[in-house]
Amino acid sequence: MAEPSRGRLRGGANTDAEAEKLSLSELNLLIAGAEWRFDAATNSNLRKDAFKRLVWLEAQRERLHGVEAPERKLAARRSSE
């Protein structure tokens, strides 16, 4: 999967107030980036941080735009056996 294109939203929103200023398409772009970072994470700490960001962004999208956030649970990655 290719990394999402980067635009002016490089850092994105980190607070509820910042999220409120974003359009639905901007939130969707940030969510796509968070999903990519989650999938591409190379260690458990990066994966956990990306997961928290993804869940928070989806919650903001639900709160602000009514798009239902999916149920997500952080499952442990299996090591290759």
The DSSP annotation for 15-45 comes to: SHHHHHTS-HHHHHHHHHHHHHHHHH--SHH
Domain-located, residue 9: no
For residue 26, the enclosing domain spans 18-65
Note the pLDDT of residue 74.
Answer: 85
Note the pLDDT of residue 75.
Answer: 79
Domain-located, residue 8: no
Domain-located, residue 54: yes
Q: Number of folded domains in the chain?
A: 1
Domain-located, residue 74: no
Domain-located, residue 51: yes
Indicate the pTM of the whole model: 0.79
Domain-located, residue 78: no
Could you report the per-residue pLDDT of 36-70, keeping only the tens digit for each? 999 999 999 999 999 999 999 999 999 999 999 99
At CA 71, angle to CA 75 and CA 79, rounded to 5?
15
Share of the chain above pLDDT 90, in %: 70
Domain-located, residue 75: no
